Each structure stands twice: as C-alpha cells, then as structure tokens.
Amino acid sequence: MAHSSAMPSPVALPGVSKIVAIGSGKGGVGKTTIAVNLAIALSKLGQRVGLIDADIYGPNVPLMMGSTQQPRVGEGNMIQPNDTHGIKTISIGYISPGDKPLVMRGPMLHQIIRQFLQQVEWGELDYLIVDLPPGTGDVVISLVQTVPLTGAVVVSTPSDVSLEDARKALEMFAQVNVEVLGMVENMSHFTCPHCHQEIDIFSRGGAERTAKQFGVPFLGSIELVPAIREGGDRGLPVALAGPKSPQAAEFYAVAEKLMEQAEKAAASATDVIEIS
C-alpha cells in the first residue's frame, strides 16, 4: 500500500454522529434482518437513525422496511431519503426497483456508495447504519475511503462455515483499520413451539467463542424465530413491537450493547483528534 497518499481521505458527514457498518463474511446469515431490526431498536431507544442499504446487487432493505417509494431529489441535487418506521432509509432498490439485476463494475459501485453517503439529505443523526453486501470487497473499501466509520458489527450464524467467513470479515475490518464493535450470533437456536425444547439447528455459541478469540465484544445472540422472518417479509420488522415483545427483546439487548461500544469508540476517536 505504498500509494496511500493518493487515496481520498475520509470526510465526516455533517450532522451524523456515528456510522456503523453491519457486515458478514458470507450471505444468508441474516445480516439485513439484524441491520433493520437494530436500526428500529435504536430508534425506539430514542436515537435518530438512518439506514443505508449498501448491498447494491441484492438490496433487501425495501422489502424488509415495507417501502418501495422512489426518493425525491431536492435542492442542490440532494436525495431525500425515505422515512419508514421513523428511520431515514436509502437503497438502490428504491431507485431501480423490480427483479432486474444491476450489472455494474467497481467504479460505478464506488460512485453509488459515495452518493448514498454524501448526496443524501441525512440531517441530524445519532446513528447511520450501513448494511453491507456479503463478503469482503469493494463496498467496504469505498465506505472506508469516503467517511470515518465509528466501527463495524460482524454477524454470523453458529455454524463452522459461517464462522470461518466471519473470521475473514474480522480480518478485513482489521486491515482497513475499522474497529469491530462486536459480533452478533444470528439463528442461534430454535425453541420447539410444541415441546418448548431448545434445538441448536446450526450449532450454538460459536460466535461468542470467535469474539473471545479475536478479543472483540460479543453483543448477543438472536434466536431462530419464524416471527422474525415473517416480519421482514411483510415489511414490519419484529423490533417494531418494542423491547417488551419476547421476539424483539433480543434485538433491544443487542442495540443497547452496541450503543455502549459505539459511545466508547466515538469517545476514543475524539481523544485521538484532540491529542493530534
């Protein structure tokens, strides 16, 4: 990386206090489900929240948030994000809806990510959540070059395959100097509705062990519950039911831990700025 001086320096977004990326090493671990429900939980815990769907090839946020409205373009060519369930949201799925796949190359991808960050009227936000595409690629690099990230959350299921990819995601964030605020274990276990016995479909506890191994916080696990998928499919994420709902409670517990870690990371980032 000898050419780092040619790299664009990240520029803070005016009015946006913390930017948190939600990533995973592989697809299918429920990363968007976590991103959407965490965004709603944070908002219900009194935070002002924005959500960027940075999965340009497979944007699921519109379906999960139940909004397909095309965003308006306002003054100065600024895009007005959709406001759904009290959360300001932008997704390529709002701009190019339907099942037509988007075929584009790296530089175009970079352009879109920059636009979503810099050309959207985010206003004052406590948290801007960025739902990353699966894997470890271009989008993360574009993100890191465009804005200073407060940190990242890595989502994994407890299966060995998923954990192997989660470790790659942890390594990737380390390489681009992004602090991992914690790991979340999704689809952790399933409680049989008839006999109420807990069944570990994808094994269990692996993400917590991996977090320990890498010295990153463990933010909690989310049970495999049909209601979580149904809520996402209907555009009414379970977190809307509030912290007292048994299906949503785990998301609120994770959101509170995330806030704690993000506050710490943001505070140490300002310390560094003041010292330098």
Q: Give the chain's domains with CATH numbers.
A: 14-275 (3.40.50.300)
At residue 246, does pLDDT exceed 80?
A: yes
- CB neighbours of 17 closer than 8 A, spacing ≥ 6? 125, 126, 127, 266
Give the mean model confidence (pLDDT) for residues 216-238: 82
What's the confidence (pLDDT) of residue 205? 58
Q: What percent of the chain has pLDDT over 70?
A: 77
**Higher pLDDT residue, 269 or 64?**
64
Confidence of residue 96 (pLDDT cuts 50, 70, 90): confident
At residue 276, does pLDDT exceed 70?
A: no
Give dist(CA 228, CA 1) in Å, integer. 42
Give dist(CA 163, CA 157) in Å, integer. 7
Token duo for residue 182: 């914690």
At residue 2, does pLDDT exceed 50?
A: no
At residue 262, does pLDDT exceed 50?
A: yes
At residue 44, does pLDDT exceed 60?
A: yes
pTM of the model: 0.87
What's the confidence (pLDDT) of residue 1? 45
